[in-house]
């Protein structure tokens, strides 16, 4: 049970760090925060058999898409923490190190580049956006911050794990 709690805390904590980064980025650089309602619209569309959108923002809104999107955002963060812990092992839970957290954090950028962005009409690695390289850099930095969050939240969660 302690391992499950550590995974939940690590994933949710890392996701919260990412959200704090988005707020900071908005204030410092005037960049918009992600709209997780669109993630909810995409996931909700899947339940109706629609897996790809030409432009997700132009697709009709779905009831509850914001709640669904935010819940999915945190569940995905927890799933990535489970990948980290499952790959590196329990030793990482006992004594988290930065390297594996950054590798997994940066590696998670493959999900938006290869799955979410194409399915939402933005193309592979944001190739159909107005400024693809800016979007790619923003994604890469955000996932780097997620990796830092995995490490920081893992350190906090390590106090709960009693081997």
The tens digit of pLDDT for each residue in 23-75 reads: 999 999 898 899 999 999 999 999 989 999 999 999 999 999 999 999 999 99
26 found inside a domain: yes
Q: What is the pLDDT of residue 160?
A: 75
- How would residue 131 be classed by pLDDT, with cut points 50, 70 and 90? very high
Burial of 95 (0-12, 13-18, 19+ CB in 10 A): exposed
- The C-alpha atoms of residue 101 and residue 153 are separated, in whole angstroms, by 10
The tens digit of pLDDT for each residue in 111-129 reads: 999 999 999 999 999 999 9
- Between the alpha carbon of residue 47 and those of residues 17, 42, 43, 75, 141, the distances in Å are 30, 9, 7, 17, 31
118 found inside a domain: yes
DSSP per residue, 1-35: -HHHHHHHHHHHHHHHHHHHHHHHHHHHH-PPPP-
**Is pLDDT at 97 greater than 60 in this prediction?**
yes
* Contact in structure between 139 and 109 (CB atoms under 8 Å): yes
Task: Tell me which residue range forms the domain holding 120.
Answer: 2-35+67-157
**Is pLDDT at 95 greater than 80 in this prediction?**
yes
Number of domains within the chain = 1
Mean per-residue pLDDT over the chain, rounded: 94
- The C-alpha atoms of residue 161 and residue 163 are separated, in whole angstroms, by 6
Q: What is the pLDDT of residue 3?
A: 87
127 found inside a domain: yes
18 found inside a domain: yes
116 found inside a domain: yes
13 found inside a domain: yes
105 found inside a domain: yes
pTM summary value: 0.93
74 found inside a domain: yes
């Amino acid at each position: 049970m302690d391992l499950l709690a550590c995974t939940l805390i690590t994933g949710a904590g890392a996701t919260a760090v990412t959200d704090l980064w988005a707020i900071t980025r908005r204030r410092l650089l005037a960049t918009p925060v992600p709209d997780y309602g669109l993630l909810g619209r995409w996931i909700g569309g899947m339940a109706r058999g629609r897996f790809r959108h030409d432009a997700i923002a132009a697709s009709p809104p779905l009831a509850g898409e914001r709640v669904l999107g935010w819940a999915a955002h945190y569940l995905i963060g927890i799933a990535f923490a489970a990948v980290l812990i499952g790959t590196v092992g329990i030793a990482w839970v006992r004594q988290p190190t930065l390297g594996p957290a950054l590798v997994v954090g940066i590696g998670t950028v493959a999900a938006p580049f290869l799955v979410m962005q194409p399915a939402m009409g933005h193309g592979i690695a944001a190739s159909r956006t107005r400024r693809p390289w800016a979007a790619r850099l923003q994604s890469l930095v955000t996932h780097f911050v997620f990796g830092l969050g995995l490490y920081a939240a893992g350190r906090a969660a390590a106090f709960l794990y009693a081997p």
